[in-house]
């Protein structure tokens, strides 16, 4: 079913019923035919974008699910999955004609279809939560939805190009990894490759062309290697079914991107699978293959003894085959293979007329429920999205605790993840780790089979850099929570220092009652909340000062007589001191005639003046008035200071001691050892600036000071 169905090509009701009877003789063929005819009647007169009758789509979805040997209710749901949304049919009518179970499933698929999963982050996170809630109620809902998306991707070319890209991206980001996380590897590969065909058609065609060229050069490599393997197994009296294939174009492309190598340097582009009669034969087959061909170091994984969390079991090995070509070999039993290909669908599939009780199938409801709980406890919805996508895309590694317990982690997990997996308290106090008895950095990536011991210490707190080391949602959530709590304490201290410096500047010391009153006037919960906002620069210290002592602030900031501050203005002209260079009294200045009667005042060395070299008629010769100017001219400084207790407070105090007022403070970059801040201060002249810079440069905890000038802040003149 790789091409669109026409009405004549579509499988008939009787053919569909017969197909299901082959694996489930107890199937209710009469009800199946009734559902088929009901769906066809309801969709009568409706057409797809390609011009084909719409009902060809539900038939194709039903056939995809029948090929996975699913139960009657799931296949009938596929036939009816668009009736509630696109026809006058109702949930009540479907329940009456078929069953309450089928009506619930159809309604569940309808709700999923209405979700716009690719949206802004908060809405996307909420919709993903709804998606998981629907899956948790009945896993068959997502089986129908995945089959629906698979057929839509196979026939996507009838859509407008921009709609194709939207659907392909949504498939690549949500549905393909979800299919993989639920163990449906074959479905995942098909969805990825169909999306790849839309998102990067040139890249996909390039890989296909190279495959064709390679086959012309080497002949049918797959058949030759398959024959070699069967011969060796026959010699050892081991029975296994061997299949081989070239890997999907998207799988090849992803490997090229990850390893940053060209197609010509890829070695394991062929994959082989050995399906054995029992588990013992799996290991015998492995022995035969390793005896005949050289195993590639580091490429052996035993997922039979250590299964993946989605139930996947198989032995993986890579060997050097004919002509030194690397080939990947997967070895497993038939039951393991059913789970590997169909994932959770294997839990609902039939074999020989009975629901197959596959011992290896795993219901992912537990995983989904945990994600829903995490969403409900996480304030930051983008963090939930990050956790979901990490877990959906992740492969697994298995590590041991010192007591021998096995813990599972996503690929790329670090000792930080291991510590939080044991307990949040252990994670928060982690100071180091031993892997297989050797001390390792916390950023070390764990590998399968390693034994990990976490070293803790009282008083240790999570660091912001841990977020880059951790990959599990649990660890990241716990680290963010701890950082928020610790950050609040630090912000309160910073706010208190800033406020103390501001009040010292006006010679006052406010009471606790006055600060509580100011917080109330600002509609904040308490004084601590006000100090935290001061520390995070959401509030300015002078706003608090002006609220408590308005008369002092007014007296402290005298109004500048603009007509007398700058000499050289014409009659009725006023000056506009430019923020690109923030000129100060004592610096050479020049004016540029601006709109109306305004004059833009720049420092003589301002980069902006170069734009007006050919318009000398706009230039006006200006200079500052002699005498002492008030501290009313703002200048922005960039400081790099140590991230130690009290440093910011001392910096603010030093600035206040010079008679300058801090009008604004912004954190540009926060590192574990340094902060980079931009601080705006009100000065009287250039000498005042030199005094402030000298005091700051003498401070050992101030690593760098710089006066900021930004040409993009200049106003246009004419």
pLDDT tens for 626-648 read 777 888 889 999 998 887 777 88
Whether 241 sits among the annotated catalytic residues: the reply is no
Q: How confident is the model at residue 370 (pLDDT cuts 50, 70, 90)?
A: low
Paired strand residues for 680 = 636, 664
* Non-local CB neighbours of 319 within 8 Å, separated by 6+ positions: 289, 290, 293, 294, 295, 296, 326, 327, 329
Phi/psi region, residue 226 (left: phi>0; alpha: psi -120 to 50; beta: rest), is: alpha
Answer whether residue 7 shows pLDDT above 50: no
Measured between alpha carbons, how far is residue 425 from residues 321, 460, 532, 575, 674 in Å? 50, 10, 26, 61, 27
Q: What is the pLDDT of residue 323?
A: 61
- Structural tokens at position 296: 């590639």
First-to-final CA distance of the chain: 68
Answer whether residue 243 shows pLDDT above 60: yes
pLDDT tens for 206-230 read 888 887 777 776 667 788 888 989 9
Dihedral angle, C-alpha 629, 634, 636, 640, nearest 10 °: 70
CA atoms within 13 A on the CB side of 505: 30
pLDDT tens for 298-352 read 778 888 888 876 677 899 998 886 566 778 899 999 888 877 777 666 655 655 5
Answer whether residue 512 shows pLDDT above 90: no
Whether 373 sits among the annotated catalytic residues: the reply is no
Phi, psi of 434, deg, nearest 5 = -115, 130
* Reported pTM: 0.52
Q: How confident is the model at residue 557 (pLDDT cuts 50, 70, 90)?
A: very low
Residue with tokens 């004592």: 586
Q: How confident is the model at residue 550 (pLDDT cuts 50, 70, 90)?
A: low
Residue with tokens 């296994």: 240
Second CATH level (architecture) for the domain 13-199: Orthogonal Bundle (1.10)
pLDDT tens for 60-83 read 999 998 888 888 999 999 999 999
Q: What is the pLDDT of residue 58?
A: 94
pLDDT tens for 412-423 read 889 999 999 999
Catalytic one of 15, 72, 86, 644: 86
Catalytic one of 85, 93, 121, 607: 85
Alpha helix stretches (DSSP H) within 171-248: 176-181, 185-199, 201-218, 221-235
* Non-local CB neighbours of 592 within 8 Å, separated by 6+ positions: 599, 600, 602, 609, 612, 618, 619, 620, 717
Concatenating the DSSP letter of every residue in 546-592 gives HHH-HHHHHHHSPPP-HHHHEE-PPTT-EEEE-TTT---TTS-EEEE
Phi, psi of 553, deg, nearest 5 = -65, -40
3-state secondary structure of 636: strand
Helices (H) and strands (E) in the chain, counts: 31, 22
Please check whether residue 178 is in contact with residue 208, taking contact to mean a CB–CB distance below 8 angstroms. Answer: no
The proportion of the chain whose per-residue pLDDT surpasses 70, expressed as a percent, equals: 81
The proportion of the chain whose per-residue pLDDT surpasses 90, expressed as a percent, equals: 20
Instruction: Evaluate whether the domain defined by 203-355 bears CATH number 3.40.50.2300.
Output: no
* Higher pLDDT, residue 283 or 407: 283
Q: Where are the domains of the chain?
A: 13-199, 203-355, 562-578+587-624
* Cα–Cα distance for residue pair 440/415, rounded to 1 Å: 9
Phi, psi of 114, deg, nearest 5 = -75, -15
* Non-local CB neighbours of 684 within 8 Å, separated by 6+ positions: 585, 628, 629, 630, 631, 632, 633, 659
pLDDT, average across residues 379-385: 55
* Cα–Cα distance for residue pair 119/127, rounded to 1 Å: 9
């Amino acid at each position: 079913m790789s091409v669109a169905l026409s009405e004549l090509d579509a499988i008939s009701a009787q053919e569909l019923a017969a197909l299901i009877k082959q694996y489930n003789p107890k199937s209710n063929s009469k009800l199946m035919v009734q559902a088929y005819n009901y769906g066809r009647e309801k969709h009568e007169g409706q057409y797809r974008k390609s011009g084909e009758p719409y009902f060809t789509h539900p038939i194709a979805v039903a056939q995809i699910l029948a090929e996975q040997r699913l139960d009657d209710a799931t296949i009938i749901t596929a036939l009816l999955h668009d009736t509630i949304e696109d026809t006058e049919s109702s949930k009540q009518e479907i329940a009456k004609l078929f069953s309450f179970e089928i009506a619930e499933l159809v309604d569940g698929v309808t709700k999923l279809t209405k979700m716009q999963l690719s949206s802004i982050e908060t809405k996307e996170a909420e919709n993903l939560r709804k998606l998981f809630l629907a899956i948790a109620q009945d896993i068959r809902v997502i089986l129908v939805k995945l089959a629906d998306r698979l057929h839509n991707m196979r026939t996507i070319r009838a859509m407008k190009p921009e709609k194709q890209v939207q659907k392909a991206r949504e498939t690549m980001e949500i549905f393909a990894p979800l299919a993989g996380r639920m163990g449906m590897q074959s479905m995942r590969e098909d969805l990825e490759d169909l999306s790849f065909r839309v998102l990067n058609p040139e890249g996909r065609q390039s890989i296909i062309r190279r495959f064709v060229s390679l086959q012309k050069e080497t002949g049918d490599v797959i058949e030759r290697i398959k024959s070699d393997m069967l011969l060796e197994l026959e010699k050892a009296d081991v029975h296994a079914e061997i299949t081989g294939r070239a890997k999907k174009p998207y799988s090849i492309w992803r490997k090229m991107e990850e390893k940053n190598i060209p197609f010509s340097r890829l070695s394991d582009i062929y994959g082989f699978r050995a399906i054995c009669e029992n588990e013992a034969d799996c290991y015998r087959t492995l022995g035969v293959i390793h005896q005949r061909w050289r195993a590639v170091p580091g490429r052996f994984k035993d997922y039979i003894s250590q299964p993946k969390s989605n139930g996947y079991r198989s032995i993986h090995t890579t060997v050097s085959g004919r002509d030194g070509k690397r080939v990947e070999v997967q070895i497993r039993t038939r039951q393991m293979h059913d789970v590997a290909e169909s994932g959770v669908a294997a839990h609902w599939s039939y074999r020989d007329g009975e629901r197959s009780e596959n011992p290896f199938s795993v219901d992912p409801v537990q995983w989904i429920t945990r994600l829903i709980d995490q969403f409900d406890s996480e304030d930051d919805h983008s963090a939930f999205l990050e956790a979901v996508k990490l877990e959906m895309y992740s492969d697994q590694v298995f590590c041991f605790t010192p007591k021998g317990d096995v813990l599972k982690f996503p690929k790329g997990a670090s000792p930080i993840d291991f510590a939080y997996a044991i307990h949040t308290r252990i994670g928060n106090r982690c100071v180091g780790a031993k892997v297989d008895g050797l001390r390792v950095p916390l950023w070390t990536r764990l590998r399968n089979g390693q034994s990990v011991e976490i070293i803790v210490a009282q008083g240790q707190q999570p660091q912001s850099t841990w977020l880059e080391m951790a990959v599990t949602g649990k660890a990241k959530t716990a680290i963010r929570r701890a950082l928020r709590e610790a950050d609040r304490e630090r912000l309160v201290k910073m706010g208190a220092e800033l406020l103390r410096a501001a009040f010292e500047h006006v010679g006052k010391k406010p009471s606790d009652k006055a600060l509580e009153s100011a917080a109330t006037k600002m509609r904040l919960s308490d004084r601590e909340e006000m100090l935290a906002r001061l520390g995070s620069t959401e509030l300015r210290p002078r706003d608090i000062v002006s609220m408590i002592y308005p008369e002092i602030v007014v007296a402290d900031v005298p109004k500048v007589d603009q007509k007398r501050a700058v000499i050289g203005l014409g009659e009725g002209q006023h000056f506009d001191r430019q923020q690109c260079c923030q000129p100060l009294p004592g610096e050479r200045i020049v004016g540029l005639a601006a709109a109306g009667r305004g004059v833009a005042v720049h420092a003589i060395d301002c980069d902006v003046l170069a734009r007006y070299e050919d318009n000398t008629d706009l230039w006006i010769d200006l200079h500052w008035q002699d005498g002492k100017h008030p501290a009313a001219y703002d200048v922005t400084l960039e400081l790099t200071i140590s991230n130690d207790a009290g440093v910011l407070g001392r910096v603010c105090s030093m600035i206040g001691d010079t008679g300058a007022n801090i009008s604004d403070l912004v954190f540009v970059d926060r590192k574990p050892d340094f902060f980079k801040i931009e601080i705006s201060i009100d000065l009287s002249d250039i000498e005042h600036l030199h005094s402030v810079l000298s005091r700051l440069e003498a401070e050992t905890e101030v690593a760098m000071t710089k006066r900021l000038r930004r040409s993009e802040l200049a106003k246009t003149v004419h």
